[in-house]
Amino acid sequence: MNKLLLHPAAKPVLFVLCLLPFAWLAWGAFTDGLGANPAEYLIRSTGDWTLRFICIVLAVTPLRVMTRINALARFRRMLGLFAYFYVVVHLLSYSLFDMGFDIPEIVKDIAKRPFILVGFSAFVLLTPLAATSFNRAIKAMGAKRWQTLHKLVYVIAGLGLLHFFWMRAGKNDFAEVFVYAAIIAVLLGWRVWNFARNKRAAAPAPAGRVQLSK
């Protein structure tokens, strides 16, 4: 599997796969196939895909560690950029179809409605992650500071989930919210467990106990 994922064609194939949801939405808009309220469908679908890509990004490290398929790490950056791509389309769709690109009204709406404020906050936090997702930024910042900055993805996941929860609360429809909440809880819980396990493994042996070499 590592050999397959290291193939030069792997990244172009993933790029096309990540674009398929957008292509499907664009085709639906062009052929009038997005239902009775295409604007709402487009806004909600791009929001859904943003949250899905965030979950996929969070899943890369656990999958890499548990399966020992280290080549998975090379796709994390692209997946993160696609999460940003879909959140930008989500924000643009809201700004155009809901607000007619009326900037003062958009600002008022963000300040007035908490679920939009939370979603916009997630977008703002995701922007520096997308802006620093290239090798030159890592060298300029230093690996440690870059890693610290990119841990914001955990906060972004929480904000995205809260945004989704509040949006669905209006219709009292929480089935999908619980699914995403469970996925994110497992992915973040695994990180806490793995950190604790690594910390225990790195701890020095108690005094008087001989530590056998492996």
pLDDT value of residue 81: 97
Rounded to the nearest 5 degrees, what angle is found at the Cα of 94, between the Cα atoms of 89 and 96?
Answer: 90
Residue-level pLDDT at 204: 74
Please check the confidence at residue 9 and state whether its pLDDT lies above 70: yes
- How much is the average pLDDT of 27-42? 93
Please report, rounded to a whole number, the percentage of residues in the chain having pLDDT higher than 70.
95
Confidence band of 214 (pLDDT split at 50, 70, 90)? very low
pLDDT of residue 82: 98
pLDDT computed for residue 11 by the predictor = 96
Alpha carbons 110 and 131: distance in angstroms, whole number:
23
pLDDT tens per residue, range 143-173: 999 999 999 999 999 999 999 999 998 778 8
pLDDT for 1 beyond 80: yes
- Distance (Å, rounded) from C-alpha 120 to C-alpha 126? 10
What integer is the mean pLDDT of 71-86?
96
Q: Which of 152, 186, 179 is nearest to 164 (CA)?
A: 179
pLDDT surpassing 70 at residue 87:
yes
The per-residue pLDDT for range 118-133, each reduced to its tens digit, is 999 999 999 999 999 9
pLDDT tens string 190-213: 999 999 998 888 877 665 554 544
Q: Is the pLDDT reported for residue 70 higher than 50?
A: yes
Structure tokens at 70: 């280290």
Q: pLDDT at position 113, please?
A: 94
Query: H helices of 8-75, where?
Result: 10-30, 38-67
Mean predicted confidence (pLDDT) in 165-182: 91
- The one-letter amino acid code at 46 reads T
